[in-house]
Amino acid sequence: MSNSPTILAVETATSSCSVALYSSDQVLSRSEIGNNIHSQVILSMVQSILLEASIEVGTVDAVAVGQGPGSFTGLRIGIGVAQGLAYGAECPMIGVSSLDALAMQSTLDGPILAGIDARMGEIYWAEYVKNGDDLQRLGEIGLNLPIDIQSNSATNYILVGNAWSEYKSLLSRKLLETTNHLEQIIYPSAKALLTLALSKYLDREWVSAIDFTPEYVRNNVAEKPKTGNKTI
């Protein structure tokens, strides 16, 4: 495998379905937003992007995929397609947290809270520090009621993701007081995922398609939320 690999990325953890390709030091991407559209559009998006790049799926060096947390249905579709592509190309898979990809999209550097609406009144979230393309996650991914989310730092958080506006009235006063800016970045994208996947590829952080596992965080979709912290 080369130091300038060809990587195909798929991100389907939210209502945004996106595909991106890194090849010959160029990035191509496609995205569509809508409820329950992933199974209808993802394969045509993959075919379109490969056709534009004039490459065959068998030449792909790795398939990256957003492994969650997010929509159970969306994740199953995206990971299933990614596994099929990896099997066909006989290449490894690279898993990237969908929250990491979301945080990577921030146009500002500094402390970041990334949050995805987990439904059932809860938020998938994680805390980061970003400096250019350098992204560091602080602590574990959490699944919490909005009121229970507490930051570790004192001030100036940048918020990204659809959870913060959705649950703004339910967030704690302390958290709101430490918020500096709410960015209009709603969903994780395959393009941002590619940036993180490339670094993982160069560090050989990949797995075979058969060994790939999602990062659901919530194990029981029917379980009612409880107060208190829940992390992985």
Q: State pTM to two decimals.
A: 0.90
Nearest to 115 by CA among 173, 185, 180, 64: 185
Exposure on the CB side of residue 117, measured as CA atoms within 13 A:
16
Tell the CATH topology of 7-98+188-211.
Nucleotidyltransferase; domain 5 (3.30.420)
CATH topology assigned to domain 99-182: Nucleotidyltransferase; domain 5 (3.30.420)
**Distance, CA of 114 to CA of 47 (rounded, Å):** 31
Domain with CATH 3.30.420.40 in the chain: 7-98+188-211, 99-182
Q: What confidence tens digit (pLDDT) does each residue in 185-199 have? A: 999 999 999 999 999
Q: What's the pLDDT tens digit per position in 209-222?
A: 999 999 898 864 43
